[in-house]
Structure 1
Amino acid sequence: MDEQRKQSQFSHLAVADEMTAYLQACLGNRYFMGSVLVARAGEVLLSAGYGMANLEHNVPNTPQTKFRLGSITKQFTATAILQLQEQGLLEVQDSISNYLPDYPNGKKITIHHLLNHTSGIPNYTEFSSFEQTKKIKVTLNDLITRFSSEPLEFTPGERYQYTNSGYVVLTKIIETVSGYSYADYLQHQILKPLEMFDSGCDRQEVILSHRASGYVFTGETYQNADFIDMSWPSGAGAMYSTIEDLYKWEQGLYTDVVLSEASREMMFTPKVTIRAAEDGKGYYHGYGGIICTHFKRKLLYHGGGIDGFSTRIARYPDEQVSIIVLTNIDPAVATPVVAIANDLAAILFDEPYQLPKKRQAIALDPAIYDAYVGQYELEPGWVMIVTKECDRIFAQWAGQERVELFPESSTKFFMKLIDAQRTFVVDETGKASHVILHQGGRERVATRMY
């Protein structure tokens, strides 16, 4: 038995060393700094900080650093709703008009619709006015007024469309039914029972020890992220936490401390299809999280992104594996969070992965770019436009900003703003027939339209 224990400890140390080497490589390419925790079967294999929590004061990230969570908050909001259902104070199939009688179309929209993003309520963070208004404090009622007067984008229950607005409405329902503010409810009913003393709803005016500052990576340097008043994210994204506290949260979901077994089953049972797959291994939304298959294993996850921060919590329940990645770099480069979580899982499950590398642009004859100029369709309506200007090459998705591509070879290019690469494939006409998109550990093909 002692020999088996020694072998197990040696294996865990080897895995932790491999993960550490991988994360140091991620830190070296400058798309990542933050804190990471990996655990299996109740044993923490890795818990460490990388890079700086505050660049101006040279404060390093640690396992105790507090990060804004963004949409990981939605898991806590969904849990609060299921707790209130257990208490007999609401039913998820109830119309929201039962609790918010003045909400437009409230009789058509159920709590269930809000939880799984099928309500049809437009997403307020995509409104053109959001970037200008997010710096000013807003009350919960005023925030709801900003989107409740907009027409529904589809009949409730008709299809899936991610919207922060639905979780803001859930926040109001929690306050109405429980009699607590949303922040107080979380503290009393979820965070305190799980002994998550380093978590809560963030507020600008509060002095918060070990708080990370949020940054944007420009491709060359870091800059302070845009300001957002934390009254705006509400129950859709206003929480902060640490990797250690989130591990308590994740472990608590194996027990009855905050939710009964029936409620946990309801939370993690697919309710709506996000993206189907012929083999049945698509992506599905439950309540406050996404369910899929990864490395032939069931995966439950949620990510978050808010100005200066990107986050990921991944749970392989059958293996009792937890992977938590919190970074203080803007969600414009959130893809590394996904790739990091996936690659750490690959290390743990002995699956293939690539060690990140620092990319270097080479000198290239700009005439080569002429073969790549054109429009490429990834999916219907999702088109990438490649242009050449002043002997430089750019890519732009419809409705997004133009991004410069830098050559690693005559066909392979990378971006500095995000950890992504593009490979152009040329046919017999001398022009690119398609481009391979390398991003987040995935490869996808966009075909030339013209």
Structure 2
Amino acid sequence: MQLLTTLRLLTVFIYIFITTRATFAQTKAEKIDALVRQYVSNRQFNGSILVADKGKVILKKGYGMANMEWNIPNTASTKFRLGSITKQFTSMLIMQLVEQGKLKLDGKITDYLPDYPKATGSKITIHHLLTHTSGIPSYTSFPKFFETMSRDPYTPDAFVKKFSDLPLEFEPGSRFSYDNSGYFLLGVIIEKVTGKPYADVLKEAIFDPLAMKDTGYDLAGPIISKRASGYEKRSEGYVNAPYLDMSIPYAAGSLYSTVEDLYHWDQALYTDKLLADSASKTTMYTPFLNHYAYGWGVGNIAVGQLKDSLLLIEHSGGINGFNTLISRIPADKRLVVLLNNTGGAPLSAIRKNILSILYNQPVEPSKKPIAELLRKSVLTESADVSRQKFKIWRGGKAYSLDESEMNTVGYELMSDGKLNEAMTVLALNAEAFPASSNVYDSRGEAYMKLGNKAAAIQDYKKSVELDPKNTNGYIKLKELGVAVAVPNDVLTTADTTTLQTYVGTYQLAPTFSIAITRESDHLYGQATGQPRFELFSESKNKFYLKVVEAKITFVTNEQGGVDQLILHQNGQDMPGKRVR
């Protein structure tokens, strides 16, 4: 009798233990799902996610649309372009060939590509290419790359000639500069050594052994089931992403995959299925410069208020209409995969919050951008109603107000010819940020377009009063016939010499840089994997963009040279060191 009672109690205990454990895991999944749905409702995520905890999948789900024109939803099996996540697969192929004795990490480019210029190819190693330390200029940073090159098909050998004769930006191994050209070359070397196309080697060496049936080289021609379309976000909705010929990203960014396949990839990296030698694995994950290893960023991160930092191995990707992120915490076999097909999603912030949930830390939830709500309001309701709603939104904790986002909406409305609606937005922005020079500069432009010269002059005067270095304000006042003294240190549109000092490449993260170029008296910025946009002068060293919510400040050193920029976007100030 006592034994029976004991068994019953044990059964109840086991049931409670299993139920409690399942509920705990489900609670984490539910929290993550609620978090992501909040980003989706705020138009900050549209894609698929997978989260694994201690090697086990606790959430895999699609959000939003894979194809907006046919209302086809994203699912866990939707295929997305990966962008630079491709690089970790390229580096794996290289390490496999090293294990097979077909390549050497200290081997030179010319050892495998005899026709490559010996002046540079004889001193650049495979290791340099893998770690972005070769000094070869990255082809995606070429002036007008997206306008003049990205739509045309190339063979790998033909495209290499686009950058192989260029001088190096620095001595190989001495500096880090994110370089798609280097990984393109690795693909060509793989083909030369194996005698097979890069896509075939990937399939035979990685995809087939791991049963990654939903991963491959994303060419436009083949019919690929469940392939997501790429979009770019606008205030009023979305537009189709510009075409990119996928022969261009090649071994630097050509693959497509699903969150499920990337989970299989993650799990295989803990085994000997792909690399048998433990030393090879150690080498692959050992960071060189700027925390970059072989196709992975490797470093410690803090999660919430945890006492100890965690080793994070991750890589992001960005390609027309898509941005992606795969993040691994090896110590706890935790994995976060985020694949987005509307470009520009704040994936690092989402990943940060997901890790906070996994480690039972506080979360910083997404907030609804007031600028987008206001845009919808001014297009469908009276100015008075929009003002009333704006006041309510500003007082709510679930909403975020950003000056740059408001400014962008105002300019988009102006470009669409909706001047009265634009004026409502820009006027509210000026009321919300009365100490900002830029809000008056922008509203002044709207007044000019509306033909209200007196109001425009008043706003531009206020703008230069708040910021005496606001170049655009002086230019507009001159156009309006107002004589005003311009400080000697203020940049004018004719000062191309000063603009030229800003030209270069600035690295903000291991996988993210901004290339600054100049054409006559116009300055342009192009971020990794993004189109080029014009920068408009706000002062001698401060510029703003009209098509995205961002500003750029160039920082000079004691010698007067420009050695970094600061990107102001999404409420963050992100410094970027000049690397070229």
Please tell me whether the aligned partners of residues 370 and 388 of structure 1 are also in contact (alpha carbons under 8 angstroms).
Answer: no
Q: 2:428 aligns with which of 350, 361, 364?
A: 364
Report how far residue 340 of structure 1 moved.
1.2
Aligned to 1:278: none
Residues 82 and 218 of structure 1, relative CA distance in 2, 3 Å threshold: same
Q: Secondary structure at the match of 2:95?
A: helix
Structure 1: how far apart are the matches of 2:149 and 2:575?
37
Report how far residue 391 of structure 1 moved.
4.2
One-letter code of the match for 1:114? Answer: L
Aligned to 1:53: 66
Q: How does 1:27-426 map to 2 (within 5 A)?
A: 27-104=40-117, 105-131=120-146, 132-260=148-276, 261-272=278-289, 274=290, 284-294=291-301, 295=303, 296-330=309-343, 333-334=344-345, 336-361=346-371, 362=390, 364=428, 366=430, 371-373=435-437, 388-391=441-444, 399-400=524-525, 401=533
Number of residue equivalences: 399
Deviates more, 1:255-264 or 1:41-50: 255-264
Larger radius of gyration: 2
Report how far residue 75 of structure 1 moved.
0.2
Structure 2: how far apart are the matches of 1:445 and 1:267?
28
Report how far residue 130 of structure 1 moved.
1.7
Uncovered stretches (5+) of structure 1, i.e. residues with no partner: 275-283, 375-385, 405-414, 423-434
Report how far residue 2 of structure 1 moved.
4.1
Structure 1: how far apart are the matches of 2:84 and 2:226?
21
Report how far residue 170 of structure 1 moved.
0.3
Report how far residue 419 of structure 1 moved.
8.1
Please tell me whether the aligned partners of residues 67 and 212 of structure 1 are also in contact (alpha carbons under 8 angstroms).
Answer: yes
One-letter code of the match for 2:524? Answer: G
More strand by share: 1
Please tell me whether the aligned partners of residues 421 and 437 of structure 1 are also in contact (alpha carbons under 8 angstroms).
Answer: yes
Please tell me whether the aligned partners of residues 35 and 49 of structure 1 are also in contact (alpha carbons under 8 angstroms).
Answer: yes
Tell me which stretches of 4 or more aligned residues in structure 1 moved more than 6 Å.
Answer: 392-398, 415-422
Structure 1: how far apart are the matches of 2:573 and 2:300?
17
Structure 1: how far apart are the matches of 2:435 and 2:279?
58
Uncovered stretches (5+) of structure 2, i.e. residues with no partner: 1-13, 304-308, 372-389, 391-426, 446-462, 464-469, 473-513, 517-522, 526-532, 537-544, 553-565
Report how far residue 173 of structure 1 moved.
0.7
Please tell me whether the aligned partners of residues 215 and 222 of structure 1 are also in contact (alpha carbons under 8 angstroms).
Answer: yes
One-letter code of the match for 2:85? Answer: I
More helix by share: 2
With normalisation by structure 2, the TM-score equals 0.65
Please tell me whether the aligned partners of residues 218 and 416 of structure 1 are also in contact (alpha carbons under 8 angstroms).
Answer: no
Residues 172 and 243 of structure 1, relative CA distance in 2, 3 Å threshold: same
Q: Deviations over 1:328-350 (max 9, x none)?
A: 012xx14x112111211111112
Report how far residue 299 of structure 1 moved.
0.2
Aligned-pair Cα RMSD in Å: 2.8
Please tell me whether the aligned partners of residues 69 and 311 of structure 1 are also in contact (alpha carbons under 8 angstroms).
Answer: yes
Residues 139 and 438 of structure 1, relative CA distance in 2, 3 Å threshold: closer
Aligned to 1:378: none
Q: Deviations over 1:140-180 (max 9, x none)?
A: 01111001111111110011000100000000110111111
Structure 2: how far apart are the matches of 1:299 and 1:262?
20
Residues 159 and 17 of structure 1, relative CA distance in 2, 3 Å threshold: same
Residues 196 and 365 of structure 1, relative CA distance in 2, 3 Å threshold: closer
Please tell me whether the aligned partners of residues 430 and 440 of structure 2 are also in contact (alpha carbons under 8 angstroms).
Answer: no
Residues 368 and 188 of structure 1, relative CA distance in 2, 3 Å threshold: closer
- Percent sequence identity over aligned pairs: 43
Structure 2: how far apart are the matches of 1:387 and 1:124?
39
Please tell me whether the aligned partners of residues 72 and 302 of structure 1 are also in contact (alpha carbons under 8 angstroms).
Answer: yes
Report how far residue 40 of structure 1 moved.
1.3
Structure 1: how far apart are the matches of 2:430 and 2:53?
50
With normalisation by structure 1, the TM-score equals 0.83
Report how far residue 71 of structure 1 moved.
0.2
